[in-house]
Structure 1
Amino acid sequence: MHLLRSPQEAYRKVDFDARVAGADPVQLVLVCYEQLASALGTAIHADARGDNAAKSASLTRALSALTALQMGLDHDRPVAGALAALFEGARRTVLDSVLQFDATALAALRSDVCDIADAFRANAVDAG
């Protein structure tokens, strides 16, 4: 079994696994958006603390969340093209920050992700 580095990471993993196990497709998308926003936020905070290991782990989590969002796109939906372009731009922003960290760009991306998640959540409630 892979040992986690901190109690916080262990808790985050257990919480994530439990949420994913019981999620429907809409909830899975929301979990991905939440994971992306959280990972971007922790990367920014880790950089401010000078914690390169946590920053790297957070950027990796952000890329994983983006990959899940990209793979889950329903290309038959009209908004799919715009989301695909957004996710690709987000991926570039995160990858650029691996080489030269840009807290401002990541904070702007995080804000955009939160706005999109809120809109997705509202649309899911209206449709449900």
Structure 2
Amino acid sequence: MLDEERVSYASRLHRDPRETYRSVDVASRTGGASPHQLIAILYEDLLRELRLGALAIDEGDHAAKNARLTKAIALLFALESGLDFDKGASVAEALSRFYRGCRDAVMRASIEANAALVRDVVANVGEIADSWKAIGRS
């Protein structure tokens, strides 16, 4: 790295410590992870965002609700984009429908400020995430 690049990098780190922490956290969690582990991380992040979104609805925090549920929808898109329709067409199609249904439910829950609906999605995603973890242990 050139001195100029180091200064620029250091000043970016200093400017927004929260973003620096997030970058380091993501790098430490995903660095060296297998594709299976990366999907597990996406599920963990999705469940966290959904739970925090439901809590934000309960607390009437519209900004937090929007931020959390928007991230959850993005994570659902990320999970769907990783499906391999060539290797496992029937499973991939079923998961694609599942993720679309979850996105629809999250959007409806956001519009209606319906924490119970978000928690239903948490329960359903949790089952898939648990199955995914079990596959990784076998």
**Structure 1 residue aligned with 2:56, among 33, 46, 52?**
46
Ranges of 4+ aligned residues in structure 1 off by more than 4 Å? 9-13
Question: What is the aligned partner in structure 2 of residue 91 from structure 1?
Answer: 103
**2:120: which partner in 1?**
108
What is the rounded CA distance, in whole Å, between the counterparts of 1:108 and 1:12 in structure 2? 28
Partner of 1:66 in structure 2?
76
Which amino acid in structure 1 is aligned with residue 36 of structure 2? V
Decide whether the 8 Å contact of 1:63 with 1:94 is kept in 2.
yes
- What are structure 1's unaligned runs of at least 5 residues? none
Q: Residues 79-124 of structure 1: CA distance to partner in whole angstroms, max 9, x if unpaired?
A: 1111010000001011112321221111011011111111111112
Task: Please identify the structure whose Cα radius of gyration is greater.
Answer: 2
Number of equivalent positions:
123
Determine whether 1:81 maps to 2:81. Answer: no
Q: Identify unmatched segments of 5+ residues in structure 2.
A: 1-11
Aligned residue for 1:23, secondary structure, equals: coil
User: In the alignment, what sits opposite 1:32?
Assistant: 42
User: Which amino acid in 1 is paired with 2:77?
Assistant: T
Work out which of the residue numbers 100, 113, 121 in structure 1 matches 2:133: 121
Give me the TM-score of the superposition, normalised by structure 1.
0.84
Bigger proportion of residues as helix: 2
Aligned residues with identical type, % of pairs: 36
Question: Contact 2:57 / 2:114 at 8 angstroms: preserved in 1?
Answer: no
Aligned-residue CA RMSD in angstroms? 2.1
Partner of 2:7: none
Checking the alignment, whether the CA contact within 8 Å between 1:44 and 1:103 is kept in structure 2 is: yes
